[in-house]
Amino acid sequence: MMNQTDGKYAVIVNRYAFPEPVRIEREDSGMNNTTRMIYAGDERYVLRVYENHRDEAIVSLEHAVLSELNKAGLSFRVPAPAANFDEATVTRTPEGKLAAVFSYIEGVRPAIAVASHIEGLGRAAGELTRKLGELHALSAFKPVYQPYYEFEETHAAMHVEAIRCLSSKLPLTSEQEEKVESLLAARNRLTALIARFKELPRQWIHGDIVFANALAAGKSIVGLLDFEFCTVDARAMELAVVCAEFPCEDDALSLERISLLCKGFGSQFRLENEEIAALPDLIQLRMIDVWLHFAGRLAEGLDGEEVWIRQIERISFVCDWVERNRAQLHTAFQAAAAVQQSTV
């Protein structure tokens, strides 16, 4: 007999062969999905309901990539989709939403203040980069999402005038208005670099490795989560995305943490010199893409204005920080370089 906290999720869970008794509990959810914990006998699973789209091809691709990775001998765990009674890993809810069930991975969110977690996250990102490059079966898969460097196409609705129109309706300070213009200038500069980005080595990447999408146990990183946005992109974007987590008011601390991350990454995979040289721009590319993403959410009424205003502050800070610290970043990135270059 099922003792559920929310009956609508029981309809999904009843499509799976879980050991009794089964209990559904509410857990933390992200902005894109709703999650529930399933306690079934002595086992635990995670139920995910996709809230931002109803495209089965996207979820099926995510599960196909995860299936290959679960056979790849990784030193950490990745989600393993469970099959329902129809032998499918994607379940359609009565409302038409998509849902999936994954085996639970034990662990807690890693902490940015813990050195072993930083290096471990870099090591996991490097190992994943290496494995994704080696999995020949992935060549048969067609990406659903555009690479980061196609951000102008991905966020076509958020063109310059649309951003300015959106900003004009918000209670921005004069300083925040200047930050919007600065971000638009950074966007224009990155647009001019798209041809260069396209020349970088490309492969499948996770595309969103951050502390919130990882799990730690003790000093080790034991899991990477949320492969929903995996796609073929510039290989170096994998490291750039993680690096964007670290800029803070303390420049020395930020650079120390990025160096530690790159040490971990470089212990598993080395980037070519042209990739290392592009990393500062790729970090900014990640930031501008996130900024445009949240602009789109605001325009569609999915977020309140305070969400995008926070993004203006954070993303402006990171982009400016990268610009001020390009020389120091070159030194920090050497731990992930195939051929280390002089930093003099």
Residues 138 and 249 in one domain: yes
H helical segments located in 202-271? 237-243, 251-266
Residues 289 and 248 in one domain: yes
Residues 41 and 135 in one domain: no
- The residues, any chain, with a CB within 8 Å of residue 169's CB and separated by 6 or more, are none
Cα dist from 182 to 176, 178, 312, whole Å: 10, 6, 10
* Domain termination residue (choose one: 54, 80, 103): 103
Geometric angle at alpha carbon 241, from 275 and 57, rounded to 5°? 105
Evaluate whether residue 109 is within a structural domain: no
Task: Report pLDDT digits (tens) over 137-155.
Answer: 998 999 999 999 999 999 9
Task: Report pLDDT digits (tens) over 203-221.
Answer: 999 999 999 999 999 999 9
Residues 201 and 295 in one domain: yes
pLDDT score, position 125: 98
DSSP code at position 143:
P
Cα of 32 vs its chain's centroid, Å: 12
Evaluate whether residue 248 is within a structural domain: yes
At 223, the pLDDT band (50, 70, 90 cuts) reads very high
Domain of 259: which CATH number? 3.90.1200.10
Residues 120 and 180 in one domain: yes
Residues 22 and 130 in one domain: no
Name which of 241, 245, 289, 239 is nearest 264 in CA terms.
Answer: 239
Q: Cα–Cα distance between 249 and 276 in angstroms, integer?
A: 24
Evaluate whether residue 324 is within a structural domain: yes
Residues 332 and 265 in one domain: yes
Name which of 287, 289, 280, 285 is nearest 324 in CA terms.
Answer: 280
* Domain termination residue (choose one: 73, 103, 133): 103
Evaluate whether residue 110 is within a structural domain: no
Residues 263 and 175 in one domain: yes
Residues 146 and 223 in one domain: yes
| Mean pLDDT, all residues of the chain | 93
pLDDT score, position 337: 85
Give me the percent of the chain exceeding a pLDDT of 90: 84
At 30, the pLDDT band (50, 70, 90 cuts) reads low
Evaluate whether residue 342 is within a structural domain: no
- Mean per-residue pLDDT, 109-136: 97
Contact 11, 94 (CB under 8 A): yes
Contact 79, 86 (CB under 8 A): no
Task: Report pLDDT digits (tens) over 274-319.
Answer: 999 999 999 999 999 999 999 999 999 989 999 999 999 999 999 9
- The residues, any chain, with a CB within 8 Å of residue 221's CB and separated by 6 or more, are 76, 110, 117, 120, 121, 123, 124, 214, 215
Evaluate whether residue 341 is within a structural domain: no
* Least reliable range by pLDDT among 31-45, 131-145, 214-228, 252-266: 31-45
pLDDT score, position 6: 60
The first and second tokens of residue 213, run together, are 């999408």
- Mean per-residue pLDDT, 313-326: 98
Domain of 87: which CATH number? 3.30.200.20
Residues 216 and 263 in one domain: yes
Evaluate whether residue 250 is within a structural domain: yes
Predicted confidence (pLDDT) at residue 324 exceeds the cutoff of 80: yes
Q: Which range of residues forms the domain containing residue 218?
A: 115-336
Predicted confidence (pLDDT) at residue 32 exceeds the cutoff of 80: no
The first and second tokens of residue 282, run together, are 């790729």
- pTM exceeds 0.75: yes
pLDDT score, position 29: 58
| Upstream peptide bond of 19 is cis (omega within 30 degrees of 0) | no
Q: Cα–Cα distance between 9 and 261 in angstroms, integer?
A: 39
At 255, the pLDDT band (50, 70, 90 cuts) reads very high
Tally of domains in the chain: 2
Task: Report pLDDT digits (tens) over 51-67.
Answer: 877 889 889 999 999 99
Predicted confidence (pLDDT) at residue 18 exceeds the cutoff of 50: yes
* Domain termination residue (choose one: 53, 73, 103): 103
Predicted confidence (pLDDT) at residue 4 exceeds the cutoff of 50: no
Predicted confidence (pLDDT) at residue 330 exceeds the cutoff of 80: yes
Give me the percent of the chain exceeding a pLDDT of 70: 95
Residues 324 and 256 in one domain: yes
The first and second tokens of residue 300, run together, are 């569609």
Evaluate whether residue 344 is within a structural domain: no
Residues 199 and 316 in one domain: yes
Tokens 């925040």 belong to residue:
176
Strand partners, 49: 34, 99
- Torsion (CA) 190, 196, 202, 206 in degrees, nearest 10: -10
